[in-house]
């Protein structure tokens, strides 16, 4: 699906009508046009590429879920690919993942391509700071900044999720919580890989920024770099904590299991006493006291007494 917007005064306005009539060279065109392609079909990509002179590889780049962050500049067209956080499907057995977003910039045209619908629009919230002649570039930089902020927000939610798992694991002997920790760790690996790739792209853009122009845009890019570095630091800290917690929780589950086995073993020893006595007096041979009318009561009392003594001994030795 293709959505068209005009960019004016730090905001985007949805344009009605056919997107292919919004060519920057037409009569009375918008100052800057933003085309947002959400999970586009090959036909839509081909139509946009032919209408605005965009290479097909640029438009198809973000449709590969495993596409890595990179930046390319060719024939006056700047292509930037970043990865942004998304909620994963339950079948993926992971809490959160990332997906690529392609940003294609020309002087009067910005194109974003993403596999997920409404993701780019929600990330930008259809607003971006600042005014001036470089609105398409500001749109891209705002996407960089808010993508980094989205990583930070998801990392905080992930931290809360880990806290809930930690409280559950303190008394648990099940594998389910450990598997949930594994899913969190997998999400952190996806996040760290994406954040480091994004950081390399932003640093490359920052290093090639014209020093005498676009000072407001350069400040916005520096803000995005700072936010992204903060997200990297948070992800690395959470990764270390998650790995440590996983090891600790594995030891806790093993220790809880050992406690249960120790109690069961102690009970087995306690109940072994009446079993032995019952087996001895069940033999078809002459036994002491078998003629006494109080033989059964005496045997029961002896079993209870010896079992109680064994239980007291095990408790005193803290084996139960």
Using one digit for the tens of pLDDT, what is the confidence trace for 44-77? 888 888 888 888 888 888 888 888 998 888 877 8
Report, as ranges of residue numbers, the positions in the chain whose pLDDT lies below 70: 9-11, 16-32, 89-94, 121, 123-134, 169-175, 209-216, 320
**Chain Cα centroid distance, residue 183:** 8
Structure tokens at 272: 């072994």
pLDDT at residue 89, as a whole number: 63
Structure tokens at 217: 């845009």
pTM reported for the whole predicted model: 0.73
The pairing of strands 70-74 and 109-114 is unpaired
The CA-atom distances, in angstroms, between 250 and each of 102, 139, 172, 181, 188 are 41, 46, 11, 10, 19
**Taking CA 319 as the corner, what is the angle to CA 317 and CA 320, rounded to the nearest 5 degrees?**
115
pLDDT at residue 49, as a whole number: 84
pLDDT at residue 212, as a whole number: 46
Per-residue burial over 92-102, b if 16 or more Cβ lie within 10 Å, else e, is eebbbbbbbbb
pLDDT at residue 197, as a whole number: 92
pLDDT at residue 21, as a whole number: 56
pLDDT at residue 231, as a whole number: 92
């Amino acid at each position: 699906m293709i959505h068209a917007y005009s960019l004016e005064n730090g905001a985007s306005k949805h344009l009605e009508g056919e997107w292919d009539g919004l060519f920057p060279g037409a009569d009375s065109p918008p100052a800057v046009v933003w085309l947002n392609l959400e999970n586009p079909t090959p036909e839509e990509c081909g139509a946009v590429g032919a209408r605005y002179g965009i290479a097909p590889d640029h438009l198809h780049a973000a449709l590969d879920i495993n596409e890595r962050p990179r930046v390319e500049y060719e024939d006056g067209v700047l292509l930037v690919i970043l990865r942004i956080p998304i909620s994963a499907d339950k079948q993926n057995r992971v809490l959160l993942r990332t997906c690529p977003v392609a940003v294609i910039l020309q002087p009067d045209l910005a194109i974003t391509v993403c596999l997920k619908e409404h993701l780019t629009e929600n990330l930008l919230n259809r607003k971006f700071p600042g005014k001036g002649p470089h609105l398409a570039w500001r749109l891209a930089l705002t996407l960089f900044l808010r993508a980094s902020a989205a990583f930070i927000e998801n990392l905080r939610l992930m931290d809360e999720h880990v806290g809930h798992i930690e409280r559950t694991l303190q008394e648990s002997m099940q594998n389910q919580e450990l598997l949930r920790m594994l899913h969190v760790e997998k999400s952190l690996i996806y996040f760290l890989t994406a954040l480091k790739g994004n950081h390399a792209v932003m640093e490359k853009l920052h290093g090639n920024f014209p020093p005498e122009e676009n000072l407001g845009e350069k400040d916005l890019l520096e803000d995005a770099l700072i936010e992204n570095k903060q997200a990297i630091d948070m992800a690395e800290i959470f990764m270390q904590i998650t790995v440590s917690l996983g090891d600790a929780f594995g030891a806790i589950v093993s220790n809880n299991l050992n406690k249960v086995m120790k109690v069961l073993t102690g009970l087995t020893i306690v109940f072994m006493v009446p079993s032995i006595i019952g087996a001895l007096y069940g033999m078809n041979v002459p036994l002491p006291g078998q003629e006494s009318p109080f033989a059964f009561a005496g045997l029961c009392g002896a079993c209870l007494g010896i079992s109680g003594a064994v239980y007291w001994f095990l408790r005193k030795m803290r084996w139960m």
